[in-house]
Amino acid sequence: MPTKKQARALQKRRHEQYEARLAARQKRRQRRQRVAGIVAVGALALGGGAIALSSMGPVSPTPDPDPTPSASTPELGPPAGYAEGREWSAEIALDQGELSLTLDGIAAPQAVGSFAYLAQQGFFDDTECHRLVTETIYVLQCGDPTGTGTGGPDYRFGPVENDPADGFYPAGTVAMARAQDSEYSMGSQFFIVYRDSTIPSDLAGGYTIFGSVTSGLDIVEAIAAAGTETGEPDGRPAEPVVLHEVNVS
């Protein structure tokens, strides 16, 4: 079994390869967006100025076509049973203070196993929360090492676990982000609900609830109160939020 240092070195190499693929895809995406922008301008003129909403879900990262969404394998993700069917504790150190979480490895074994596996390799350390939503739903989204909303580990997993039938996510909920309508698109991105929210399900169901905040929710509330960089209800937090260290046990 590789040591923690060896595992982190392997994850770093994989992430560097992922970054190179991401950069290449970004260039292709930018070319497509330039073409789409020309088409969109014409559509707005013909449509009387109506603005179409994004097709992405409210807390969904931009889907990443590589790797192909699929269940995780031992070679690319945590071994089966990594969550041990038990409750875990997590501590997240921010500039603003420390968050304490409980993680439910019984109700959400895949999500907790993945979160613990990545945290123990230092995957989340010094990553920035890239998204804050302050209207309709109330969430802070984190866990992307690129800070763009498109990144994650080199594996994906699913399907959705432990999602609420009524779509209600109480304040303090910690849940996995994913691509819209895609049940095998979960990776490392997660969101913290800082105020009671109702998030509609889609074809894949709801969002995997894998934990809850036991202390420090007031820190997230204060971050949300500062709003986003642009003042819009959905964007990067105006107050930078960096996960300096994530410890699980």
Structural domain boundaries in the chain: 1-52, 87-248
**30-34, 95-99, 125-129: which range is least confident on average?**
30-34
pLDDT-derived band at 16, boundaries 50, 70, 90: low
Residue 71 has pLDDT above 90, yes or no: no
List the helix and strand counts (H, then E) for the chain: 3, 13
Taking the C-alpha atoms of residue 231 and residue 4, their distance in angstroms, rounded to an integer, is 41
* % of the chain surpassing 90 pLDDT: 69
Q: How many beta carbons lie within 10 A of that of residue 163, not counting itself? A: 19
Q: Which residue has 């964007």 as its token pair?
A: 235
**24-28, 40-44, 232-236: which range is least confident on average?**
40-44
What's the rounded mean pLDDT across residues 57-72? 42
154: its two tokens:
């080199």
- pLDDT of 188 reads 97
- pLDDT of 23 reads 53
- pLDDT of 42 reads 29
- pLDDT of 213 reads 98
- pLDDT of 76 reads 77
φ, ψ at 14 (rounded to 5°): -65, -40
pLDDT-derived band at 6, boundaries 50, 70, 90: low
| Cα dist from 15 to 10, 47, 152, 174, whole Å | 9, 43, 9, 24
Residue 234 has pLDDT above 70, yes or no: yes
| pTM for this entry | 0.74
Residue 131 has pLDDT above 70, yes or no: yes
pLDDT mean across residues, the chain: 80
Residue 66 has pLDDT above 90, yes or no: no
For the structural domain made of 87-248, what CATH number should be given? 2.40.100.10
Residue 194 has pLDDT above 80, yes or no: yes
